[in-house]
Structure 1
């Protein structure tokens, strides 16, 4: 089932698409340009696990004394149980987001093994009531854009989206469960840290042929080396040198 809600003219322009694939599994795709900042007060009446990807735009979220700045080309994760969330979207810019919402029961159906479910439960409990950055590697970004741009209709669309969601969740769990690293999970990234890590990412992407070291990047961005190494992996789902490798390979393919 798919619903489309068009923004009334006085508020701006754009559409919100809600695609419910099955009970406890839905996708929300928003593509809006607001006339004024939009402030929402959302009360979750049930347990929900969410992967949220901001393709463009900017927003501020508050949840149980946890404040989070959502930035362009970033991913976020949260697990909410009867929680209240305050969301403010910025006006005058394109706000393009994709939200994957799953009930814990729906998530468990993909991983029926008891050992997998135990680890999933540990990760859910860690993220309970918090909105935090999650990795958005090139592979994740590609998958997100394919979901947002799906042009199939009817049953073909449902099958395609379910396959892409399974791919996206699998990549998330590969990073956060199969490759579970307690050192990375325990790292807290504040707005300043995230800003600096995005700065490092921009430096690297604009200078792919430069032989950077962790020390030189840390000095250039003004962040300590440990936070740079572990924080970069936590935020983007890959190491700095993994990013350089993948970007060089993509560049070689295009040539």
Structure 2
């Protein structure tokens, strides 16, 4: 990675294009940005995977060239990220649980990284042909914006969507996948493909369950995604529906509708699913059942065990054993 600091908080970087036969390219952030970096990995199927994690000393803006004719997705796992493509494209912003998707010609875009103790995000680039082939394999109709983009009829594609709780939990596991042995790279590739499929299935379902007469305004969806990010950071003691709705400037009824359209569940269902996914990840990392339950706000072991078993079909004490 070539990086240079320019005026203010703007850092210009040039990202290499990894070769499928090469080792991962690990790019460490300059010291003025913080501590962390990005791992780039070229996978089979024409997938380019980037895993970013670290901590930032101050808000930072990164200007970088985007590859042409690729669908680029960014999954925000922790922290907050904003994207500012060249005009007239709209800016995108979101925290944990938010995903961006865009299709750009060769151009420069600016990414804003907020000051935070923990930033984690996954970038995934795939060809339009890959997305179209995915839809044909599963015999699914892509959402309108995706279909226009992959057919080349309406470029660029800009979309902000929410990750279902299962996808967010999956993304957290992918963040922790390191190593460069063939088996480890194959594991990363499998997990990246699964994450992409989870997101695309979610977007297909979101369109299916959104009647034309009940479309939400973009600002309402943006505020609902803000609410989802806030809830993801407060799992131990989440606010009530009306409280979180007031925080983001929505009515309780519009927030419920937005969650149904974005995630296919209500606000309480979303929090419950997030809690169980976070507990599942904690168990995989080796935490004891009691510790995992308490970390996401469960104070009664029996209640946690029942809900965990109902969702995953196995008792938490046997999970990851």
Give 2:226's aligned residue.
195
Shift of 1:29: 0.8
1:70 aligns with 2:94: yes
Q: 2:131 aligns with which of 107, 112, 115?
A: 107
Is the 8 Å Cα contact of residues 196 and 223 (structure 1) preserved in structure 2?
no
Report the more deviating stretch, 45-54 or 104-113: 104-113
Residue by residue over 1:111-169, the C-alpha shift from the partner in whole angstroms, topping out at 9 and shown as x without a partner, is 444953x5367524379545443222221112111211114542212321222123212
For structure 1, which runs of at least 5 residues remain unmatched after alignment? none
Higher relative contact order (CA 8 A, sep 6+): 1
Instruction: Map 1:136-175 to 2 at 5 A.
Output: 136-151=163-178, 153-175=180-202
For 1:222 and 1:15, the matched residues in 2 are separated by 35
Distance 1:219 1:204, change over 3 A: farther
Q: 1:15 aligns with which of 27, 34, 37?
A: 37
Give the CA RMSD over aligned residues: 3.7
Residue by residue over 1:155-199, the C-alpha shift from the partner in whole angstroms, topping out at 9 and shown as x without a partner, is 212321222123212222222225633448953443545434555
Q: Which has the larger radius of gyration?
A: 2
Q: 1:46 aligns with which of 68, 71, 75?
A: 68
For 2:76 and 2:275, the matched residues in 1 are separated by 25
Instruction: Map 1:1-255 to 2 at 5 A.
Output: 1=22, 2-22=24-44, 24-63=46-85, 64-71=88-95, 73-82=96-105, 83-91=107-115, 93-113=117-137, 115-116=139-140, 119=142, 122-125=145-148, 129=156, 131-151=158-178, 153-178=180-205, 180-181=207-208, 182-183=210-211, 186-190=215-219, 191-196=222-227, 198=229, 206=237, 223-236=250-263, 238-243=265-270, 246=273, 251-252=304-305, 253=308, 254=316
For 1:160 and 1:151, the matched residues in 2 are separated by 10
Give 2:300's aligned residue.
none
For 1:133 and 1:122, the matched residues in 2 are separated by 11
Is the 8 Å Cα contact of residues 29 and 97 (structure 1) preserved in structure 2?
yes
For 1:146 and 1:222, the matched residues in 2 are separated by 32
Number of residue pairs aligned between Structure 1 and Structure 2: 249
Is the 8 Å Cα contact of residues 135 and 142 (structure 2) preserved in structure 1?
no
For 1:202 and 1:59, the matched residues in 2 are separated by 15
Is the 8 Å Cα contact of residues 82 and 94 (structure 2) preserved in structure 1?
yes
Q: TM-score, normalised by structure 1?
A: 0.76
Shift of 1:234: 4.3
Is the 8 Å Cα contact of residues 51 and 101 (structure 1) preserved in structure 2?
yes
Is the 8 Å Cα contact of residues 143 and 203 (structure 2) preserved in structure 1?
no
Distance 1:198 1:10, change over 3 A: closer
For structure 2, which runs of at least 5 residues remain unmatched after alignment? 1-21, 280-303, 309-315
Shift of 1:220: 8.4
